[in-house]
Amino acid sequence: MASFENLLVELDAETGIQTITLNRPTKLNALNAATITEIGQAMQQALNDKAVRGIILTGSGDKAFVAGADIAELAAIPSEALARRASEQGQEVFCMIEESSKPVIAAVNGFALGGGCELAMACHMRIASDTARFGQPEVNLGLIPGYGGTQRLAQLIGKGKALELLLTADMVKADEALRLGLVNHVVPAAELLTFTRTLLSRILTKAPLALGLCIDSVNALYSDTRHGYQVEANAFGQCFASNDFKEGTQAFLEKRPAAFKGN
């Protein structure tokens, strides 16, 4: 397993859960270019490792998941072309998370602002501590979100409310984020990782192929180049040819828990 300067990566061999912790506590885990690159490398490593079955993304410390982008680094970008490329590179990494065939859950342990909110939204689910805060404050800097935030925020909470948060730069507390549909659950801060691991462990008792195909089929809804219903039909057919389907149906008929091994 590769080592990283800005991430802590830990695999629980028993559960197959890999925890990726953004580890820049003195910067409130702010995203710089190096950290984004490392997130992409860690995700690729996790996707290639058969021992990894699911992934938790979180931040070090109790103040921030990711408090935003590294503003000093952004301010030093010398040209429009390089700024556009920085946005595209961030989008590529965050799309890798969104398109992961292995479930990825964000455990949001404090501020998730700017790029941090975008990173959380790229995950398949978000569990927030009761101290979490979410927002896209880029307009305060004369910017807009650059890592997919304008797209995913509208997908998750609807166009009108997304535009309100984007245009006002308002932060929302965890309970409001839950009401809006931005997060799946809110739990006490001390229980955040335990709750997230328990949820992911329950998901990982299901058929691995089917999990990945559910993710892909839902993602197809938001694609301009794929027909969601056809993606679903193709995936449904693919499941029928799998060992997981044989095991799942046999276990149901025998009234026993399924022991999925993947295909």
Whole-model pTM: value is: 0.96
Question: Do 68 and 31 touch, CB atoms closer than 8 A?
Answer: yes
Question: Do 240 and 248 touch, CB atoms closer than 8 A?
Answer: no
From 14, 118, 232, 254, active-site residue = 118
Catalytic, 80? Answer no
Angle between the 228-240 and 208-220 helix axes, to the nearest 10 degrees?
170
Which tokens in the block code for residue 207? Answer: 């058929």
Catalytic, 118? Answer yes
Q: What residues contact 45, with CB distance under 8 A and at least 6 apart?
A: 1, 2, 9
Which tokens in the block code for residue 182? Answer: 């931005």
Question: Do 17 and 200 touch, CB atoms closer than 8 A?
Answer: yes
Q: Give residue 201's pLDDT.
A: 98
CA atoms within 13 A on the CB side of 26: 1
Q: Give residue 171's pLDDT.
A: 98
Q: Give residue 69's pLDDT.
A: 86
Distance CA 253, CA 99 (A): 33
Q: Identify the segments of the chain with pLDDT beneath 50.
A: none
Beta strands at 17-22 and 7-12: parallel, antiparallel or unpaired: antiparallel
CA diameter of the chain:
65
Distance CA 118, CA 195 (A): 22
Strand order in the sheet with 64-66: 64-66, 111-113, 133-135, 172-173
Domain 7-203 superfamily per CATH: 2-enoyl-CoA Hydratase; Chain A, domain 1 (3.90.226.10)
Q: Give residue 263's pLDDT.
A: 65
**For residue range 52-67, what is the model confidence (pLDDT) as tens digits?**
999 999 999 989 999 9
Question: Do 68 and 137 touch, CB atoms closer than 8 A?
Answer: yes
Q: Give residue 255's pLDDT.
A: 95
From 10, 73, 88, 138, active-site residue = 138
Q: Give residue 223's pLDDT.
A: 93
**For residue range 85-142, what is the model confidence (pLDDT) as tens digits?**
999 999 999 999 999 999 999 999 999 999 999 999 999 999 999 999 999 999 999 9
